[in-house]
Amino acid sequence: MNKITAIILAAGMGTRMKSELVKVLHPVAGIPMLLYPLKAAQEIGCSRIVIVVGHQKDKVEEAVKNENVLIAYQEETLGSGHAVMAAKKCFEDFEGDVLILCGDVPLINSRTLETFINKHQIRDCAVSVLSIVIDNPFGYGRIVRDVKGCFTGIIEEKDATDEQRKISEINTGIYCCKASFLFEALKNVKTDNKQGEYYLPDIVSIAVGSEQKVQAIETEDSLEVKGVNDRVDLSEVEKEMRKRINLFHMKEGVTIIDPLSTIIDAEVKIGRDTVVYPNNTIKGKSSIGSGSIIEPNSVITGSVIGNHVHIKPSCVIQEASVSDHAAVGPFAHLRPQANVGEDARVGNYVEIKKSTIGKGSKVSHLTYIGDSIVGEGVNVGAGTITCNYDGKNKHQTIIEDGVFIGSNTALVAPVKIGKNALIGAGSTITKDVPGKALGVSRVRQVNYNNYFKAASKKDSEK
């Protein structure tokens, strides 16, 4: 493959999405759909990638700020031809081919693009168009051929005659052009069509008119070139992307018991021999180590799960971390900055926020731990609450190594429990407890002997 650059069109409004958000930023498997054609362009080694932005340009720029791309600004959305023209200044010093992709075609594969570009370059065409034959061509631009079968132009649905609408070979919206030809041809594109727009596909008839070589190169996978124009398209693309992601993980050695009910975002990483049970949603930049078990019905978002971790059913884990060999759940809630240490146990109906649970510690039942540091080998009894909020501010609880907290304890922060201390069940602890001490704060039990006998005597006297 010779020198190649790319333009990705992302300035359109996406009216048919009926959304506050510009179309190319709608997520597919958790990331903006624009990032997929961008990734494909990067994979084939484009030396320069220009993204044409317009509608909600700041948001689109923000979404690609970490990528090595140039941004061109289309002031008004006057059509796809006008959009490509906006990128002209980025190619003034360039001689070679430009691949044109649409930001709303996320399933396109880099291998398909490579084959397409190779065919374009071998035949030394001014412009090549990637086409496909589909059952329902409604809405697409049609590939028009003359009696000899030579490609002569593209006609849009709205401008087509009834006869032309019967053509089932359509323009996928992916083009490869000689840069020198492209920007000259665009100068001659007019707006004399039903939509009053500068149509990019018109460069084909312009090339034919000046006797330059053109070709429509057919591809076969209709999903790959599917454009997202409305929410129905979005759901189809989402479904296919998730299928591809699950397939990728399974091929890499992850067991996914029921791929159809398993939702894994594009940026998730999972190690070998991890087993993901049905109905799990793993989102954002989560990573899961190897040999872990994710039982059914959890939502894991932006979290780091180690090796040989056991996530029992129905947990919510968000921006948290769980170290190797730890177990969490069932029904646990790890909120942002909850860090569960190696070999630690977090049991049912436990909520942890902005806290560290040390190695081998157990927080097994019905507990809230917030803004706390819990050391190693600690046992937190059932029903323990760290009272971290005084109505205005959050305060810290420190529980040092080897502490045993009896059940139903309230730890009123700020408070510190020293190493190897013991807290009596049912205590409300408001003062620091020194290491090795027993801290207990509860009303002493009183037993009234023969209480029932005395009471029944009183009743009989009435």
First to last CA, the chain: 107
With residue 9 as reference, give the H or E element that holds it.
strand 4-10
Distance CA 368, CA 351 (A): 5
- Contact partner, 10, from Mg ion, ligand UD1, none, Cβ < 5-8 Å per class: ligand UD1
- By beta-carbon proximity to ligand UD1, the closer residue of 103 and 306 is 103
Query: Smallest distance, Å, CB 83 to ligand UD1?
Result: 3
Tell me the residue number closest to ligand UD1, measured at CB: 141
x/- contact string, 53-92, with ligand UD1 (CB under 6 A)?
A: -x-------------------x--xxxx-xx---------
Q: Measured between alpha carbons, how far is residue 105 from residues 42, 46, 375 in Å?
A: 15, 18, 51
Question: Which residues, 124 to 143, sit near ligand UD1 by CB under 6 A?
Answer: 140-141
- Other CB atoms within a 10 A radius of the CB of residue 60 amount to 23
Please report which residue ranges of 44-101 form alpha helices under DSSP H: 57-63, 80-85
Q: What's the closest the beta carbon of residue 55 comes to ligand UD1, in angstroms?
A: 8
- Give yes or no for a contact between 177 and 100, defined as CB atoms under 8 angstroms apart: yes
Binding of ligand UD1 by 11 (CB under 6 A): yes
Q: Which of 154, 204, 206, 320 binds ligand UD1 (CB under 6 A)?
A: 154
104 binds ligand UD1 (CB under 6 A): yes
Indicate whether 228 belongs to the interface with ligand UD1 (CB under 6 A).
Answer: no
Q: Is 365 a catalytic residue?
A: yes
> HSE-up of 233 (CA within 13 Å, CB side)?
21
**326 contact, one of Mg ion, ligand UD1, none, CB 5-8 Å limit per kind:** none
Query: Minimum distance from CB of 219 to ligand UD1 (Å)?
Result: 13
- In angstroms, how far is CA 438 from the centroid of its own chain? 49
Q: Which region among 196-204, 269-277, 315-323, 399-407 touches ligand UD1 (by CB under 6 A)? A: 196-204
- Residue from 97, 156, 265, 342 that binds ligand UD1 (CB under 6 A)? 156
Residue 137 touching Mg ion (CB under 5 A): no
CA distance 93 to 314: 57
Ranked by CB distance to Mg ion, the top (closest) residue is 227
345: alpha, beta or left, given left = phi > 0 and alpha = psi -120 to 50?
beta
Residue length of the chain = 462
Q: Smallest gap, in angstroms, from Cβ of residue 142 to ligand UD1? A: 8
| Minimum CB–partner distance for residue 364 and ligand UD1 (Å) | 53
Minimum distance from residue 15 beta carbon to Mg ion (Å): 11
Residue 445 has what DSSP assignment? Answer: P
Q: Would you count residue 173 as binding ligand UD1 (CB under 6 A)?
A: yes
Tokens of 341: 């240490």
| CB-CB contact of 326 with 344 (8 Å) | yes
The single residue among 153, 227, 375, 383 that binds Mg ion, judged by CB under 5 A, is 227
Look at the block and give the residue holding tokens 């359109």.
12
Name which of 102, 80, 92, 95 is nearest 7 in CA terms: 102
Tokens of residue 51, six digits: 């993204």
| Cβ proximity of 340 and 311 under 8 Å | no
Which of 77-85, 224-232, 312-320, 356-364 is the region at the interface with Mg ion (rule: CB under 5 A)?
224-232
Distance CA 279, CA 264 (A): 10
Tell me whether residue 229 or residue 364 sits nearer to Mg ion (CB atom).
229
b/e code 359-390 from CB counts within 10 Å (16+ = b): bbbbbbbbbbbbbbbbbbbbbbbbbbbbbbee
The least distance separating ligand UD1 from the CB of residue 178, rounded to whole angstroms, comes to 19
Does position 224 bind ligand UD1 by CB under 6 A? no
Which of 32, 106, 201, 296 is in the footprint of ligand UD1 by CB under 6 A? 201
Q: Should residue 227 be labelled a site residue for ligand UD1 when binding is judged by CB under 6 A?
A: yes
Q: What is the CA radius of gyration of the chain?
A: 32
Query: Looking at 91, 181, 183, 199, which residue binds ligand UD1 (CB under 6 A)?
Result: 199
- Site for ligand UD1, rule CB under 6 A: 9-12, 52, 54, 74, 77-80, 82-83, 102-104, 140-141, 154, 156, 170-173, 199-201, 227, 229
- Site for Mg ion, rule CB under 5 A: 227
The residues annotated with a catalytic role in the active site are: 365
